[in-house]
Structure 1
Amino acid sequence: MPINILQRDDGSMTLGGDDPTVGFINESTEWIASSVDKRFFTATRPYRVKAVSATVTVAGTDGSAVTAAVRKVPSGTAIGSGTALHAGSINLKGTADTVQDLALSTSSTDLDLADGDSLAIDFTGTLTSATGVATVTLAPKYA
């Protein structure tokens, strides 16, 4: 029987079996010029957010700021009322094909997803020609 080394959300390690539900997972969402705020992942167990990054593939061209935030959104909550997982915002007018690694919130409660919480992307401004992808890395939480 294979044994996996598992990293807990606090960074410590433990040994596990061949359970396919363990280990880090990445959840991504793309945006295009006509995109609207949307949920792209709903947790079925507790998770800890470990990283948030985004890559613009085509920069937006609107004259005003064009940004996005990745939010933790509990069930029954509007996307715009969710909690941002990171400081600052994703610059949708940023340099194409350049990864934007976002600084995570310093509050662990912001980064903990409960069963039923969603990840969502919240846009501001007019996307015009903006396209790209945002990725969130999650670690399952263990007791």
Structure 2
Amino acid sequence: MTTEGLGNRVKRLLTANVHALVSSLESRTPQAVLEQYLREFDEVIAQARVGLGQHEAAKHQAAKAIARLNNEIERLDEQVTIALNHGDDAAARAGTERQIDLEDQLGTLNASLQEAVEKSVATETDLLGLRAKRAEMEQALAGMVA
């Protein structure tokens, strides 16, 4: 006697029959199946494009923040020089400490920029591959129709 319940056995039998029916329908209408694959592939390509846009936006944000910090560091450098020329050691020290903090932030931002660049390149490569595969599928569909 089997320990498996009747419900599980019926479920497995129904699942097998549904899969067999779907396979039978697919083999009878390969053109329709391929057209559906193309539609699904278009959705995957659209998602990849969205991902690429997000990575490009992250690159832009990081580059903009880096430029802003570099400008601030240059401005502080000028102020530190002026403070030193006027003998204001406290202001020079405060400016230098702020520069060090900003340079630490630059390291983090540069790492973020590099990560965004790498993700962007990888996504772009994936997108090119997806588009090439879609073109192959279109050719196969055209061959079926012809």
TM-score by length of 2: 0.19
Structure index of larger Rg: 2
Bigger relative contact order, structure 1 or 2, given CA contacts below 8 A and separation 6+? 1
Structure with the higher strand share, 1 or 2: 1
TM-score by length of 1: 0.19
